[in-house]
Structure 1
Amino acid sequence: MRLTEFHDRVRAEFGPVLGDSVLRDHVLIAMGGVTATVALRQGKSLRDVWWALCDDFDIPRDRW
């Protein structure tokens, strides 16, 4: 997954405003208790961060 695809998926799922907030504010326990933005800065894979978001927000598996 590329960064642009990651952001496209976040915006498609949550909308442009809420999507940015989710990345900035929602703490992902699966990523060590950091936000998605911090996890990406730490070098976590885009796929793993996306999957953690999907799991936390109960997004249906077919959209993971």
Structure 2
Amino acid sequence: MRLTDFWERLEQSFGSVYARSIAADHAFTELGGRTIDAAIAQGVETATIWRAVVAAYPDRVPVRLR
């Protein structure tokens, strides 16, 4: 998954402001306690990060974006 696709999916699921807040502030267990921003900076694949988002927020992510 390209980084631009990742951000589009995150913003479609949470809105642009809340998506950026989640990326900066939420530490995901599935990412070893890292935030999205930290995981991206450390080279984690965006598909792996997206799976962590879906696992943490299954009710927020539309089925078509999973």
- Per-residue CA deviations over 1:9-40 (Å, capped at 9, x if unaligned) read 00000000000001111111111101011011
- Alpha-carbon distance between aligned partners in 2 of 1:35 and 1:18, rounded to the nearest angstrom: 14
Q: Which runs of 5+ in 1 are unaligned?
A: none
Residues 1:16 and 2:16 are matched in the alignment: yes
- Alpha-carbon distance between aligned partners in 1 of 2:36 and 2:17, rounded to the nearest angstrom: 15
- Alpha-carbon distance between aligned partners in 2 of 1:23 and 1:33, rounded to the nearest angstrom: 12
Count of matched residue pairs:
64
Secondary structure in structure 2 of the residue aligned to 1:5? helix
Q: Which runs of 5+ in 2 are unaligned?
A: none
RMSD of aligned alpha carbons: 1.2
**Matched-pair identity in %:** 33
Pick 1 or 2: higher relative contact order, CA cutoff 8 A, min separation 6.
2
Relative to its length, the structure with more strand (as a share) is 1
Moved over 3 A (4+): 59-62
- Tell me how far 1:62 sits from its aligned partner: 4.3
TM-score normalised by length of structure 1: 0.91
TM-score normalised by length of structure 2: 0.88
Secondary structure in structure 1 of the residue aligned to 2:22? helix
When structure 1 is superposed on structure 2, of 54-63 and 21-30 the one drifting more is: 54-63
Q: How does 1:1-64 map to 2 (within 5 A)?
A: 1-58=1-58, 59=61, 61-64=63-66
